[in-house]
Chain A
Amino acid sequence: MTDILRLTGVQVRIAGSHILQGIDFAVPEGGVTAVLGRNGVGKTTTLRAILALVPSTGMIEFDGARIDGMPTHRIVRSGVGYVPEDREIFASLTVEENLKLAEVPGVRPDYDAVHELFPELHQRRKQRAGTLSGGQQQMVALARVLLGPARLLLVDEPTKGLAPKLVTEVGDVLARVAERTTVLLVEQSLPLVRRIADMAIVIDNGRVVHTSDARSLLADESLVNSLLGVAGTDIAPKAHRAPVIGAD
């Protein structure tokens, strides 16, 4: 299996803090690779460094070509989609306008796939995105990146602040998305990771401290406890359900 993304010695300093201290990992093409770690260890910064949203040093390769040093819009145009933490949808724009903004000129937007995954978004297309529920806003954030030809999705804590039912539904959607696109997922919900992730990368203090198959990592309760500081009960699997957008 080839690697679609490779980070080598990536470092980030923000306001005097050494956030990333030499991140090295590779993401295989296809499936879901989860980035795990305690709060504040550099997971989100890693995604933002890949997209050049924060200044970084080191080497970042996407699909065999270096993208470090490129401006954000060119990295995204090259095939990297981004679903940020807290969704960051445009609250004053309608759902339709949020999606139109994500269209890439010259590329036919895949509205069929988006409407199949999120039928409610079509019904709410004239609604201001800021008036949607948290779950619906997450669907808008996901739909935006699915419209284009992204080959790698960087998804940052998509279940943050969502009700447990919606966490399951978001997981279902991500699993379906991963059938056609590689997903690099930052996630705190270990049951979700256990259900949909193939690989797991654990970051601590700005460095990668563990890389392995996700299920074997999460099956080792003592390892999980030492790396992530959570109890084994937090990683119990949950039931699988069909994706439906609901209000939370």
Chain B
Amino acid sequence: MSSLILILITGVGLGALYFLIASGLSLIYGLMHVLNFAHGAFLTAGAYAAWVVTPQLSGLGGWAFPVAVLVGMVTGALIGALVELLLIRPLYRRHIEQVLVTVGLGLMAVALFTGIWGPDPHPFPRPAWTTRTTTIGGAAIPNDRFLLIGAAGLLLIGLVLLLRHTRIGLIIRAGVENRTMVQALGIDVRRTFTLVFAIGGAAAALGGVLGSVYLGSVSPGQGTALLIYAFIVVVIGGFGSIGGTAIAALVVALVQQLANYYLYSGIGDVSVVLLLAAVLLIKPAGLTGRTA
């Protein structure tokens, strides 16, 4: 029983990590129809930014980690906004070129991080409390799972509040449905594009920092490795739907964890791909009915 509890909570924690990465990806595609293959670079850049500044923050005591997380998120947001302004904006409606640019940027980012910090993983300076465990139902749950779940919960609430109760959220929701008509109502939708890229970059960077806490290290390829799961989550959840993304992230992570434990170690990844195929066959538009 305790094993099941551990697997379930670990699965929810992993789902939270997937949600942190996939939420921005989903919003970016939903609003702008941009498949952002550079999204993993935002994640890795945020993780490295937090890793680099953490030693400089030792004087802040317990605040060092939150400040490092903030630095990582700001880094992700800035890179996201710059990528939109400099690379994506000149290529709107040129989808092939956009894909090529974001794929190239993602590859270049890995090479850049490798060139600067080397190819090997670096231990991530985790707060002591994240390395301890909390016992639930006889299962010793590592605290970093709760950190991920809490962060994803806060992001989900924040995004829902933004989308439901602000004008910018209204523009995003309308833009996901019909971007051209938003412009035809006199709204400069390009500003919203930049903001959505910044939000997506910040969320991915948060995922990068907390993923580094979860993994215990930071490495040049961690964004790329997680990006594939984020894409699977977005396709299953339905492009542009934050609720669908949250549900799909949980389902994907739980299937992965349960399959790895109860079937065969390593089969979790295959199970996720099979799940994706099944969803596409039964409900091609994803859980919330939105397609690419």
- Given the interface pairs A92-B173, A93-B170, the reply to whether A82 lies near B184 with Cβ below 8 Å is yes
Q: Are A77 and B177 in contact (CB under 8 A)?
A: no
Cβ-based interface call for A88 (8 A) = yes
Cβ-based interface call for B180 (8 A) = yes
Q: Are B181 and A72 in contact (CB under 8 A)?
A: no
| Chain B binding surface SS class | helix
A224 to chain B, nearest CB (A): 31
Q: Are B174 and A72 in contact (CB under 8 A)?
A: no
Cβ-based interface call for A134 (8 A) = no
Give the residue of B170, B174, B177, B186 whose beta carbon is less than 8 angstroms from that of A76. Answer: B186
In this complex, the interface size class of chain B, counting residues with CB under 8 Å from chain A, is 10 to 19
Cβ-based interface call for B12 (8 A) = no
Q: Are A73 and B181 in contact (CB under 8 A)?
A: no
Q: Are A77 and B186 in contact (CB under 8 A)?
A: yes
A71 to chain B, nearest CB (A): 7
Q: Are B174 and A101 in contact (CB under 8 A)?
A: yes
Q: What residues on B are CB-neighbors of A102 within 8 Å? A: 185-186
Cβ-based interface call for B135 (8 A) = no
Q: Are B178 and A101 in contact (CB under 8 A)?
A: no
- Given the interface pairs A73-B186, A101-B187, the reply to whether A84 lies near B173 with Cβ below 8 Å is no
Q: Are A73 and B188 in contact (CB under 8 A)?
A: yes
Q: Are A73 and B183 in contact (CB under 8 A)?
A: yes
Q: Are B182 and A51 in contact (CB under 8 A)?
A: no
Q: Which residue of chain B has its CB nearest to the CB of A104?
A: B186
CA distance A71 to B187 in the complex (A): 10
Give the residue of A84, A92, A93, A100 whose beta carbon is less than 8 angstroms from that of B184. Answer: A84
A144 to chain B, nearest CB (A): 7
B236 to chain A, nearest CB (A): 20
**Chain A 98-125 interface 0/1 with B at a Cβ cutoff of 8 Å (1 = within):** 0011101000000000000000000000
Cβ-based interface call for A25 (8 A) = no
Q: Are B185 and A76 in contact (CB under 8 A)?
A: yes
CA distance A93 to B181 in the complex (A): 13
Q: What residues on A are CB-neighbors of B21 within 8 Å? A: none
- Residue among B177, B181, B186, B188 with the most chain A CB within 10 A? B186
Q: What residues on A are CB-neighbors of B181 within 8 Å? A: 84, 88, 90
CA distance A91 to B185 in the complex (A): 15
Give the residue of B170, B184, B188 whose beta carbon is less than 8 angstroms from that of A97. Answer: B170
CA distance A53 to B180 in the complex (A): 8
A122 to chain B, nearest CB (A): 19
Give the residue of B167, B178, B186, B187 whose beta carbon is less than 8 angstroms from that of A90. Answer: B178
Cβ-based interface call for A171 (8 A) = no
A88 to chain B, nearest CB (A): 5
Q: Are A71 and B188 in contact (CB under 8 A)?
A: yes
| Chain A binding surface SS class | loop
CA distance A195 to B229 in the complex (A): 60
Q: What residues on B are CB-neighbors of A84 within 8 Å? A: 181, 184
Considering the complex, which residues of chain B in the window 152-205 have a beta carbon less than 8 Å from any beta carbon of chain A? 167, 170-171, 173-174, 177-178, 180-189
A148 to chain B, nearest CB (A): 7
Q: Which residue of chain A has its CB nearest to the CB of B186?
A: A76
Q: Which residue of chain A has its CB nearest to the CB of B185?
A: A102
CA distance A90 to B186 in the complex (A): 15
CA distance A104 to B178 in the complex (A): 19
Q: What residues on B are CB-neighbors of A51 within 8 Å? A: 184
Q: What residues on B are CB-neighbors of A101 within 8 Å? A: 170-171, 174, 182, 185, 187
Q: Are B189 and A90 in contact (CB under 8 A)?
A: no
Give the residue of B170, B183, B185 whose beta carbon is less than 8 angstroms from that of A144. Answer: B185
Q: Are A100 and B186 in contact (CB under 8 A)?
A: no
**Chain A 44-66 interface 0/1 with B at a Cβ cutoff of 8 Å (1 = within):** 00000001010000000000000
Q: What residues on A are CB-neighbors of B185 within 8 Å? A: 76, 82, 101-102, 144
Q: Are B184 and A76 in contact (CB under 8 A)?
A: yes
- Given the interface pairs A51-B184, A53-B184, A97-B170, the reply to whether A73 lies near B189 with Cβ below 8 Å is yes
Q: Which residue of chain B has its CB nearest to the CB of A83?
A: B184
- Residue among A72, A82, A84, A144 with the most chain B CB within 10 A? A72
Residues of A bordering B, CB below 8 Å: 51, 53, 71-73, 76-77, 82, 84, 88, 90-93, 97, 100-102, 104, 144, 148
**Nearest 5 pairs between A and B by C-beta?**
A76-B186, A72-B183, A73-B188, A77-B186, A88-B181
